[in-house]
Amino acid sequence: MPQQCSRSTLPLPKQTNPIENSPSSLVRQVDPLVRALNTVMYGLLVHFGTLWMIDLAQRQQHNDSSYTSAAATGEEGRTPSHLLSILFLHEYWVYLQHSNVFGNPLLQHLDRQYGIALLKKNQHWSIAGTLTAYWSRECLCLFLCLPFLQQQYNGEQYYFTSTQYMILYSLIYHTIKSRGVREDALKRSSPRFGIMRLVIDKFYLNSMAEVQVTVLRLFLQGFDTYIHFCVVRDLVLLSSPGGVAWCISSMHVLFTVWVVHAALNQFFRCSTASVMVQAWHALTARKMDNDVMKTEGGDFIGGKENATNEDKDESTEGESLSSGNSSLTSSDNKSTTNVVQIIDANDEYVVRQLLHHERVSDSLKGRQGSASSGVDKAIRLATSVSILAAFFMIGINNVPMQWLSSGNIVATSDVCKIFQDKSRVLSVAMYSWLLWGLLYGIWAIFLKSRSYSQLSNQSSSSRRRQISLIRMADFTVMIGIAYLLPPESKGMLLFTLIVLTGKSFIQSMDLSFPRIVWNGVLAVEFLTKLRILRMLQQSSDTMLTSFVLTVLWSLWVVTNANPTPCEVEKQREVADAVFLGHPAELHDCWALWLRPYSLQERWQAPSWVWPLWPFHYVVGWYVCNYRQRLFGDKASFFCSDTVMYGNALMQNWVATHFARHFVTNPRQVKKNIEAAARHAEEIGVKVLCLGALNKAESINGGGLGIVNELGPRRRISVIHGNHLTAAAVVETIHQVFGDRKVKFFLTGASSKVGWAVAQALRDRHAYEVLCHSTDPGRRRFFREHGFASAATLAEGSAFSKYWIVGKYDTAVAQLIPQNATAVVFSVPHPLGVRSDVRVIEAGTLHMDLQKLDRPRSFTNKLRAHEIFACHAASAVAAYRLEKGSARIDEVGPVDPQEMDSWLDDAKLLGFQIPTFDLVEDDETIQRPAVVIVGSGPAGLSAAAMLSQKNIPHIVLEAQSGESFGSWSNHFAGLEITTQKKWCNLPGFSMNNKDFPEENVSAEEYQRYLQQYVHRFNINIRRGVKVVSVEKGGSEECPWVVKYEDSSSLGKTQLLPAFSVIVATGKHRVPNKNTTDDVAGKLTTATIPFVHSTEMCDGATWEQAVTAARNGRLCIVGLGNSAADLAALILQRCPTGEKDTTQIHVAARTVPPVFPRKRFMFRVDSLGFLVRLLPHFLQEFFVHLLWTMIPSSKLCNAAFPSHLKRWTKINGRVPVIDKHGVIASGLQSGKLVGHGPILDITSDRNVHFDDRNGSSTAIDMVILATGYKEECSLVDREDKLNGMYKIGFGKDHFLPLKSIGDEAKEIVEEISKVYDRALHL
């Protein structure tokens, strides 16, 4: 690979030639006569091969009688017209040249050697001029061939041939190449896919990437050659018989001239390119200044001298390169201090070295007088014919210049006849106006520079009048065209008139419309006019008009004084400070496209963009992965705003990737950021500030990766702006909280800003900070530095309602407490969905708009006066550089002692911390609160809904400790039957981090209830036993709650209540006996028994497992508790050959037993749908499932047939076989179904009602007899006066979900009454 050396590096000695046997040297050593003969042989192969292929095509055409010639120019025996003859000869010459370049390695080497010679003398513009002149001539001839290649089908309908489509491709292809080689000449360098490098460089096969480039080059050259062959072939085939004979003979003559020329080129080592360059210099030398000549590297080396030097075998290209660089050094000593001298004796890669972007000094780059002007005119010609071909073929569905192939000759009398016929004059005039207007629009859109205007000396009012007159004339012409169109086509014309009128009104009112909307209006106008133009009938008059206007438009484009966009020197405003951000959401691309828009409010995506997400996805995929690859470093961002703030020119660059790409495409994101940094360094930006995730540690280490990528010789300062952000956060927090002792929960504490904020808050203001991190190492680091740490956000909910959010995490919006205060500096922050949370944006500053030289056009979705603190830091860094500071590299940790100096400098520049109201302590509301009795799911749901309504409330719980109703009384290992999504209470769902499984246990559900309490700041007074609820007797205090607690010393205390919600639930008091006193019988027989709620300790479980293993365990009852206990005990019992495990289940009635999951169906999901049905349909559906599901039928048959089955659900819950253990146990005999217990003998034999008189020895009994459904506080609800009961419903499908729905209804009623009372 090329080796980069400094200016002091000496050139290699001339006697050193390490690559004497390289392929290039081997080609040079071939005898000139042999080279010439080989070229003649190759030419003969191409010539006669072409003739044979044309002959074969003629035979195929002769067999196909459906095709007739539409381009034959005369009768049989006549030769083609002069123009067609010239075009044919030119095309065959070009075809021979292309074939020679494509397949002759001798010519490739010769052209390459000559190109290298020009590059060594820095004559890039000579190369560009030669190539663009050649390509523009090629484009013009191909363009003129288009009308002669038109075929006619059945004498009626015209259609395009494949050759015409290939010509259109070739025109566009050569135009792109011309523009590319001009860009390389401007920069005096060429990148990997630069046109100048691809044209001159060799074909390499050293790596897969080089193989791909080589294949691409060969394909493009080969396909271009094939296009010229198709043109030659079709011109022959479409000629008359006499014309074919003339074409063949002309090809022989032209080939003789060409092959002699090509052989002489090889013999004398003087390529055709050298002759063209001499001609180019002859044309441009008259206008070229002496200074420009010096810039080009001195006098031109003639063909003979050049050939002599190239034929010297002892002189290598590497040595020539050294001498060329030496001359460059001596020619410009003042401006080459930053130029890298590249010296390498490797002949294989000399073109890459000569076209390296650091080889030529900046003073030699740019335009070069008349040479550049000649290139511009050649490119204009190629561009104009390409646009015309595309416009006519795609837009009008016809070929341009069709009049040339019509055979009509315009005489003076014909012109006079046109002017004598007023209708013909009118139709030609209107057609001309419409066609010229469309062509002018194409020129204005694609070929007119926005930075130049011929009307610059006109006032704004006169310019508007001129535009209005033109629009009026355009409108009049459209009305006149209506008389030329058939009636069914006038709807399109009416639409065009409406568009013209609306466009005129919009522009006259000076309304600020987004640029994309205005461009859309122009596009609609263009397309409708184009449609009208296609509907106009083609006649001899319109063909002649099109021909004349096409020629005039091409000449006008080539000679127009208004430069094209690519000709204008891009005098970019080099920014002092650049802020590199990126869009957050995919639809944020509209924030760029819809400019300009009002900046009085923050930008919000319109509602109509949401259905366009597939389009947004494709746009994001393209700009992230391919835009920079295709168009270079300058395409890695969008420059969306340029303003002068004080003395600093600030630019806002938006990187071409979105937030999601940091996860899906991190490597490409890294490349895009580095590409933008390289471009900033290249154009001379002083400060590059990385914004948002562009400075992520995982991407570039906070900017350190950018610093390493640019290298030690860089001039640009790279900062992340975190010092100013941290200082702004600390000052904002102290502003709103003052010197009070406040506890903060900090997310994102492991970031640079977060860690500096934590230290400053503790050390300066003595705030207590709990630092959050999911990384155990970071939490250990926090503890080592004296900070408390939290592993989950739920711990922060329990710690404080004052949060500092420094990391974007959607779980923050879920877990932050109700009515909390959040100081955020993450961009964006996740709390937009929480209207109850007060959000204080501490990472945003206010700027002084008086210091702007122009209004801002893009503000990263902020308002006009707002700016991110890290963005403002770029101005601070530019200010420090202006004051004499050295290069600033702010890429490391944030120093709490240093960050205040950044804020001080920012304030000097006019940036200010926004003013926020103080955070006050919670006010004590004197009105009676809503009293909720019970802290189970029902009571907590009601409390949460009241918190969201900001209605004061209090929850009274009789149990002490962190328990929630009866959930702490269930047996160990209980798993909730339904999925966790059906167990969520209103307003807060179980997150997948804390609850990853589909189902949750009772223990996990209690943890969820704890999070629920912290999330809604629910006030629970524990250890309070409510004695009674009585009416208060007044409107302000409708109810009085009497209670006892540990502080009452046995005395009853009173608590006034605005409303009372009794939520003690149905499962508070266990039912430890049956109606036939089974518990008394067990006590008499001394058989140990427990209630299911008492299965909490290990000893009880071990006793039950032992009894089951011996076949002596009995479970009384057949509900979900009995099924869960039986399943858990069977799972703990070992299996084997001598397995005697057996559990006896005694039941009075047999309920339906359903599997939790059957194939893809979940019983709880089905229950959600069933509960929406009328009651009788619910009963029917349950019984239908009971008779259809095999496992349900098996469980039903396992119990004695005389037992009563459930005929109606009546609010009862069917049994759910969670893991299939119940069905398998009943089938295997490990579970035995019995009737109820009839009697128990003294020897512990239990008689069941099985109708067979058998008895079974039992060692232990578990009473799974459920709970007493009682509410001792109130007998019934009194909703009219504010007394409610919740959790006593009879939803036998999804009880927890029903509780939430019931809580919403009750709180909604309380809210209405409370609002009325509050207003009174």
Q: pLDDT tens digits, residue range 112-128?
A: 777 888 888 888 888 88
Contact 960, 1023 (CB under 8 A): yes
3-state SS, residue 152: strand
Beta bridge partners of 1247: 1239, 1255
Which range has the top average pLDDT, 171-175, 1167-1171, 1206-1210?
171-175
Q: pLDDT tens digits, residue range 625-663?
A: 999 988 889 899 999 999 999 999 999 999 999 999 999
Q: pLDDT tens digits, residue range 1030-1052?
A: 887 777 788 888 888 877 667 88
| Both tokens assigned to 124 | 């890039």
User: Of 444, 456, 440, 447, which Cα lies nearest the Cα of 565?
Assistant: 447
User: Of 404, 403, 59, 407, which Cα lies nearest the Cα of 233?
Assistant: 59
Contact 600, 645 (CB under 8 A): no
* pLDDT at residue 254 tops 50: yes
* pLDDT at residue 410 tops 60: no
* pLDDT at residue 411 tops 70: no
3-state SS, residue 483: helix
* pLDDT at residue 490 tops 50: yes
Distance CA 1182, CA 1209 (A): 8
The pLDDT of residue 733: 95
Triad 890, 894, 900: Cα angle to 5°: 95
**Residue whose pair of structure tokens reads 């709970």 in the numeric block:** 1267
Check the CA dihedral 858-860-863-868 and report its sign. negative
% of the chain with per-residue pLDDT over 70: 81
Which residues contact residue 6 at a Cβ distance below 8 angstroms, ignoring those fewer than 6 apart? 340, 341
Q: Which DSSP state fits 22?
A: S
Q: Which amino acid does the sequence have at 846?
A: H
Alpha-carbon distances, residue 1037 vs 194, 931, 1041, 1054, 1317 (angstroms): 85, 12, 11, 12, 11
Alpha-carbon distances, residue 471 vs 509, 891, 1156 (angstroms): 15, 57, 74
Q: pLDDT tens digits, residue range 71-118?
A: 444 444 445 678 888 999 999 999 988 888 887 776 666 677 778 888
Distance CA 261, CA 230 (A): 24
Distance CA 722, CA 826 (A): 12
**642-660: string of b/e by CB count within 10 Å (b at 16+)?**
bbebbebbbbbbbbbbbbe
| Both tokens assigned to 516 | 């994309």
Q: Where are the beta strands (DSSP E) in 863-1019?
A: 866-868, 889-890, 929-933, 953-957
The pLDDT of residue 642: 92
3-state SS, residue 1041: strand
3-state SS, residue 1052: coil
Question: Phi/psi at 50 (nearest 5 deg)?
Answer: -65, -45
Q: How many CB atoms lie within 10 A of CB 426?
A: 15
Q: Average the pLDDT over 479-502 and give the result.
A: 69
The pLDDT of residue 4: 40
Q: Which range has the worst mean pLDDT, 91-95, 174-178, 185-189, 1249-1253?
A: 1249-1253
The pLDDT of residue 1276: 77
- Chain mean pLDDT for the chain: 81
The band of 139, judged by pLDDT with boundaries at 50, 70 and 90, is: very high
The pLDDT of residue 1186: 79
Distance CA 21, CA 24 (A): 8
Q: Which range has the worst mean pLDDT, 25-34, 48-57, 330-339, 961-970?
A: 330-339
The pLDDT of residue 409: 55
* pLDDT at residue 285 tops 60: no
Q: Which range has the worst mean pLDDT, 679-683, 866-870, 883-887, 1204-1208?
A: 1204-1208
* pLDDT at residue 349 tops 80: no
Question: Phi/psi at 961 (nearest 5 deg)?
Answer: 85, 175
The pLDDT of residue 1108: 93
Distance CA 475, CA 139 (A): 36
Contact 1050, 1027 (CB under 8 A): no
Distance CA 661, CA 663 (A): 5
- Residue by residue, DSSP assigns 279-294 as HHHHHHGGG--HHHHH
| Both tokens assigned to 113 | 């050697």
Q: Average the pLDDT over 798-812 and give the result.
A: 91
Per the model's pLDDT, the better-predicted residue between 301 and 460 turns out to be 460
The pLDDT of residue 316: 32
Check the CA dihedral 1022-1025-1030-1032 and report its sign. negative
The pLDDT of residue 896: 93
Distance CA 178, CA 130 (A): 10
Contact 36, 263 (CB under 8 A): yes
Q: Which range has the worst mean pLDDT, 17-31, 184-198, 597-611, 1115-1129?
A: 17-31
- Looking only at the bridges linking them, the beta strands covering 1020-1022 and 1260-1263 are unpaired
Contact 1232, 1141 (CB under 8 A): no
The pLDDT of residue 677: 95
Q: Which range has the worst mean pLDDT, 147-151, 248-252, 774-778, 1059-1063?
A: 147-151
Q: pLDDT tens digits, residue range 826-873?
A: 888 888 888 889 999 999 999 999 999 989 989 999 999 999 999 999
Distance CA 39, CA 45 (A): 10
| Both tokens assigned to 74 | 């005369």
Long-range contacts of 1187-1191 (CB under 8 A, 24+ apart): 1189/1154, 1189/1155, 1189/1158, 1191/1153, 1191/1154, 1191/1155, 1191/1217, 1191/1220, 1191/1223
Maximum C-alpha span of the chain: 137
Q: Average the pLDDT over 1167-1178 and give the result.
A: 74
3-state SS, residue 838: strand
| Both tokens assigned to 443 | 């020129």
Q: How many CB atoms lie within 10 A of CB 536?
A: 18
Q: Average the pLDDT over 432-447 and give the result.
A: 84
The pLDDT of residue 2: 39
The pLDDT of residue 650: 94
User: Of 1225, 1250, 1252, 1223, which Cα lies nearest the Cα of 1237?
Assistant: 1250
Question: Phi/psi at 36 (nearest 5 deg)?
Answer: -65, -45
